Amino acid sequence: MRKKNILGTLSLVFIGIVFGAVLVSGFGFVRPSYGDVKIGADNPPVAQLNADAAAFNNAFVQVAEKVTPSIVQIEVVSSVKSPNKLQDQFHFFFPFKDDSPREQQGGGSGIIISEDGYILTNNHVVENAKSVTVNLHDKREFEATVVGTDPSTDLAVIKIDAKKLPLAYLGDSDKIKVGQWVMAIGNPLALSSTVTAGIISATHRDIRIISEQYRIENFIQTDAAINPGNSGGALVDLNGGVIGVNSAIATNGYSQNYIGYGFAIPINMAKSVASDLIANGKVSRGYIGVEIDNVTPQLAKAIGLDEPKGVLIQKIVKDGAAAKEDVKEGDVILKVDEKEVNQPNELQSYIATKRAGTSVRLTIFRDEKKIERYVTLKSRDEAGDDKTIKTALKDKKGKDVDAREVNFESIGMKVRNLNDDEMKELNVDSGVIISDVKQFGKAFNQSLQQGLVIVSADRKTINSVSELQSIINNKKGKAVLLKVVDSEGNSRLVGLDIPNK
């Protein structure tokens, strides 16, 4: 009997050991209740953010809280002649929901700039609008009227009948720096009140997306995520100041969605345009009346400029503002008022903030000296426009030509004399024609192409290839300034490096 008791006791102990092993090993036969499971750690990995990190984090939170109520959602029904065809690489943020050739529905964003209902947005958002609806952050909805548009800058102002609206603070886009943090606030992909963050990636971008003849592009580039529907929304700094109006994105051409970079119109230009649109319903923009181009290293060397800076005046527009002052073809504009300009679109965007009748001070480089000239701006109706030169070439074939031809092998181009018939057809009194250009040579790299006529070199009129050859031989190891004319009569200046050999 005692032996049986011992065996029974040992059996119970063995069973207990096996049951415990099963329970601990988690074979699934016995599970603890949910109330016994401990979820998550007791304390955060970082007990408390340091003061700098907390302040940085709070800056984003505060900007989002303060600025978002001043950003509206815009719905538009527009009338178009045909479905919208966007460009392959850069796109405005205007997602159409209907491909009908007569009416299309789209959306965008806007920035409240006055308590009584004026809203800044993009021209391409409200272009050809039949109806415009505005949804505020507090869920109120209003019908809006289009006050005015400015296709040259892709800006527009609309108006709703409301009072005491939350105003956006408009900052100073001239003070922004590449690398500083920014936030994009808008309504992408129909997702209202969306906030993203990034940095300013670049400034003064000319992406050639505006199709207007008198386009003015000086975009701020950012990597803050923006998508269709962000058009007209705000790009803001960490002080909550609006520094740009989001307008376009880089895209792969298929999805038409964000792939890394977006572009915003500087707020300083937008403020000027908005003021004119509210006051007059249109923009009374001033123009200098010059055709302008970049200063290349070769051109800087040719005119004695110590580095490639400023903006080159290729041509003075007849009856333009500059034509009445001592401003000449070949001058380099270094500054306008107190602002340095080193790209054509920098000069254009600054002048775009000035009304006709305003006087500007130009700091000019001429004959290796700096001089100042004052120009009173004219309106477009009075005098042409500032524009970057675009050369359209048409090759001449099958014409009788003079046999005299010179091959400048080190430069990579051939030139020949013009006969009387060609001079008459090209409307030039002198010059030699470029008959061939070697791909990737020095001439090619300066956009010299077959069919261009070289009418002067080193500021001297060229009548024959011998004269051009003599000038180039005397410029070995230096650079020569050429003036060329295309088949449509457009002229431009080109700096060309001349090798020692």
Q: How far apart are CA 158 and CA 147, in angstroms?
A: 5
- Separation in Å, CA 478 to CA 6, 99, 300, 484: 113, 58, 11, 19
Helix (H) or strand (E) holding 270: helix 267-280
pLDDT of res. 95: 47
Supply the DSSP string of 168-187, one letter for each residue: PEE--GGG--TT-EEEEEE-
Q: How far apart are the C-alpha atoms of 304 and 365, rounded to whole Å?
A: 9
Cα–Cα distance, 414 to 289 (Å, whole number): 34
Q: How far apart are CA 80 and CA 45, in angstroms?
A: 57
- 290-388 to CATH, choices 2.30.42.10, 1.20.1250.20, 2.40.30.10, 3.50.50.60: 2.30.42.10
Rounded Cα gap, residues 476 and 60, in angstroms: 58
When comparing pLDDT for 130 and 250, which is higher? Answer: 130
- The overall average pLDDT reported for the chain is 83
Question: Same topology for domains 170-269 and 290-388, yes or no?
Answer: no
Most confident of the ranges 14-23, 100-109, 125-134: 125-134
Model confidence pLDDT, tens digit, residues 140-192: 999 999 999 999 999 999 999 999 999 999 999 999 999 999 999 999 887 88
d(CA 178, CA 155) in angstroms, rounded, equals: 24
Percent pLDDT > 90 in the chain is 44
CB-based contact 491:442 (threshold 8 Å): no
Q: Which residues contact 401 (CB under 8 A, 6 or more apart)?
A: 416, 417, 419, 422
pLDDT band at residue 96 using 50, 70 and 90 as cut-offs: very low
Domain 170-269 classified CATH 2.30.30.90? no
Closest CA to 208 of 159, 246, 263, 157: 263
Residue 372 burial (CB count, 10 A): 9
CA 289 to chain centre: 23
**Which letter does DSSP use for residue 483 in this model?**
E
DSSP state of 244: E
Measured CA to CA, the distance from residue 417 to residue 421 in angstroms comes to: 12
CB burial class (10 A; 0-12, 13-18, 19+) of residue 59? middle
pLDDT at 235 over 80: yes
Q: Would you say 394 and 451 are in contact if contact means Cβ atoms under 8 Å apart?
A: yes
Of the candidates 91, 152, 154, 206, the residue annotated as catalytic is: 154
CATH architecture type of domain 68-159:
Beta Barrel (2.40)
- 265 DSSP β-pair partners: 245
pLDDT in tens, 427-463: 888 899 998 888 888 888 888 998 899 999 998 999 8
CA dihedral of 371, 358, 275, 220, whole degrees rounded to 10: -20
Quick one: tokens of 379? 């309106």
Judge whether 372 and 364 are in contact, CB under 8 Å: yes
- Taking only the tens place, the pLDDT of each residue in 378-390 is 887 654 443 333 3
CATH class of the structural domain 405-497? mainly beta
Alpha-carbon span 98 to 103, nearest angstrom: 8
For residues 109-128, average pLDDT: 95
Which of 218, 215, 174, 177 shows the shortest CA–CA distance to 340?
A: 174
pLDDT at 8: 57
- The pLDDT score that the predictor gives to residue 216 is 85
Tell which phi-psi region holds residue 435, choosing left (phi > 0), alpha (psi between -120 and 50) or beta: alpha
pLDDT at residue 7 in the model: 55
Q: Which of 70, 124, 385, 487 is catalytic?
A: 124
Instruction: Identify whether the C-beta of residue 265 lies closer than 8 Å to the C-beta of residue 156.
Output: no
pLDDT in tens, 38-76: 888 888 888 788 888 888 999 999 999 999 999 999 999
- Can you give the residue ranges of every domain in the chain? 68-159, 170-269, 290-388, 405-497
pLDDT in tens, 463-476: 888 889 889 888 88
Q: Which of 109, 231, 247, 464 is catalytic?
A: 231
Please tell me the number of Cα atoms within 13 Å of 423 on its side-chain side. 15
pTM confidence score: 0.67
d(CA 282, CA 157): 10
* Separation of alpha carbons 132 and 124, rounded Å: 13
SS3 string, 137-152, reads CCCCEEEEEEEEEECC
Tally of CA atoms within 13 A in the half-sphere of 279 that contains its CB? 9
**Of 125 and 87, the one with more pLDDT:** 125
Residues 6+ apart with CB under 8 A from 250: 89, 90, 258, 259, 260, 261, 262, 263
At 401, the pLDDT band (50, 70, 90 cuts) reads very low
* Cβ contacts of 328 within 8 Å, gap of 6 or more: 313, 316, 366
Establish whether 124 is a catalytic residue.
yes
Q: Is 154 a catalytic residue?
A: yes
Look up residue 7 and give its amino acid.
Answer: L
**CA-CA-CA-CA dihedral for 59, 60, 66, 71, to nearest 10:** 150
Contact assessment for residue 402 and residue 417, using Cβ atoms and an 8 Å cutoff: yes
Give bridge partners of residue 482 from the DSSP assignment.
457, 494
| Burial (CB count within 10 angstroms: exposed 0-12, middle 13-18, buried 19+), residue 286 | buried
